[in-house]
A = this chain, B = another copy of it.
Amino acid sequence: MKLHVLSKMGQRTTEPPISWLMHAALSRPKLISLAAGFTDNASLPVAEARAALNRVLRSPKTGQPALQYGITAGDTTLRQLTAAHLRKLDFQAASRLGATECWSDGAMNPTLQHSNTPTLHPKIYSPERLLITGGSQQLLYMTTEALCDEGDIVLVEDPTYFVYLSILQSRGLRARAVRLERDGLDLAHLERVLQSLKRSGELRRVKLFYLVSYFQNPTGVTTSFQKKCGLLKLLKKFERAAGHPIYLLEDAAYRGLRFAGNDVPSALAVPGAAERVIYAGTFSKPFAPGVRVGYGILPKPLFTAVKHIKGNHDFGTSNLLQHLVARALASGIYGRHVARLQKRYAHKARVMKLAIEKYFPPAVEWWEPEGGLYFWARLPKKVPTGVKSKVFSTALKNDVLYVPGEICYADDPARRKPNHEMRISFGSASEGNIREGIKRLGKVLRRFF
Provide the residues of chain B in CB contact with A14, threshold 8 Å.
Answer: 308
**A64-72, A372-380, A433-441: which lies at the interface:** A64-72
Contacting pair B166 A311 (CB below 8 A): yes
Provide the residues of chain B in CB contact with A362, threshold 8 Å.
Answer: none
The chain B residue with its CB closest to the CB of A75 is B290
Contacting pair A243 B318 (CB below 8 A): no
Among B70, B301, B315, point to the contact of A163 (Cβ < 8 A): B315
- Asked if A67 meets B49 with Cβ closer than 8 Å, knowing A16-B308, A147-B10, the reply is yes
Among B64, B70, B146, point to the contact of A7 (Cβ < 8 A): B146
Contacting pair A44 B68 (CB below 8 A): yes
- Asked if A10 meets B244 with Cβ closer than 8 Å, knowing A67-B44, A319-B290, the reply is no
Residues 311 to 345 of chain A near chain B (Cβ within 8 Å): 311-321, 323
Q: Is A122 close to B, CB under 8 A?
A: no
Q: Is A121 close to B, CB under 8 A?
A: no
Provide the residues of chain B in CB contact with A3, threshold 8 Å.
Answer: 204, 242-244
Q: Is A389 close to B, CB under 8 A?
A: no
Q: Is A54 close to B, CB under 8 A?
A: yes
The chain B residue with its CB closest to the CB of A243 is B3
From A19, A67, A311, A314, name the one whose CB has the most chain B CB atoms within 10 angstroms: A314
Contacting pair A45 B69 (CB below 8 A): no
Among B6, B15, B45, B71, point to the contact of A67 (Cβ < 8 A): B45
Provide the residues of chain B in CB contact with A319, threshold 8 Å.
Answer: 289-290, 292
| Alpha-carbon gap, A68 to B16, bound state (A) | 19
| Alpha-carbon gap, A135 to B148, bound state (A) | 26
Interface string of A1-15 (1 = CB under 8 A from B): 011111111100111
Q: Is A31 close to B, CB under 8 A?
A: no
Interface string of A260-302 (1 = CB under 8 A from B): 0000000000000000000000000000111110000000011
Provide the residues of chain B in CB contact with A289, threshold 8 Å.
Answer: 67-69, 319
Provide the residues of chain B in CB contact with A42, threshold 8 Å.
Answer: 60, 64
Provide the residues of chain B in CB contact with A207, threshold 8 Å.
Answer: 5, 7
Q: Is A97 close to B, CB under 8 A?
A: no
The chain B residue with its CB closest to the CB of A324 is B320
A66: min CB distance to chain B, Å = 5
**A137-145, A249-257, A396-404: which lies at the interface:** A137-145
Among B67, B147, B166, point to the contact of A312 (Cβ < 8 A): B166
A23: min CB distance to chain B, Å = 10
The chain B residue with its CB closest to the CB of A313 is B141
Provide the residues of chain B in CB contact with A308, threshold 8 Å.
Answer: 13-16, 170
- Asked if A320 meets B49 with Cβ closer than 8 Å, knowing A13-B305, A290-B67, A314-B138, the reply is yes
- Asked if A146 meets B315 with Cβ closer than 8 Å, knowing A41-B68, A49-B67, A243-B3, the reply is no
Q: Is A418 close to B, CB under 8 A?
A: no
From A5, A138, A170, name the one whose CB has the most chain B CB atoms within 10 angstroms: A5
Residue contacts A-B, CB under 8 angstroms, 12 given: A3-B204, A7-B146, A7-B147, A13-B309, A44-B63, A45-B67, A47-B57, A53-B57, A67-B289, A134-B313, A163-B311, A170-B309
List residues of chain A with CB under 8 Å of any chain B CB. Answer: 2-10, 13-16, 19, 22, 37-39, 41-42, 44-47, 49-50, 53-54, 57-60, 63-72, 134-135, 137-138, 141, 145-149, 152, 163, 166-167, 170, 204, 207, 242-245, 247, 288-292, 301-302, 304-305, 308-309, 311-321, 323
Q: What are the nearest 5 A-B pairs in CB distance?
A: A46-B63, A290-B319, A10-B146, A5-B244, A50-B57
11 more contacts with CB within 8 A, not counting A65-B290, A163-B311, A321-B321, are A16-B311, A19-B311, A37-B69, A41-B64, A47-B57, A50-B57, A53-B54, A54-B54, A66-B290, A138-B313, A291-B320
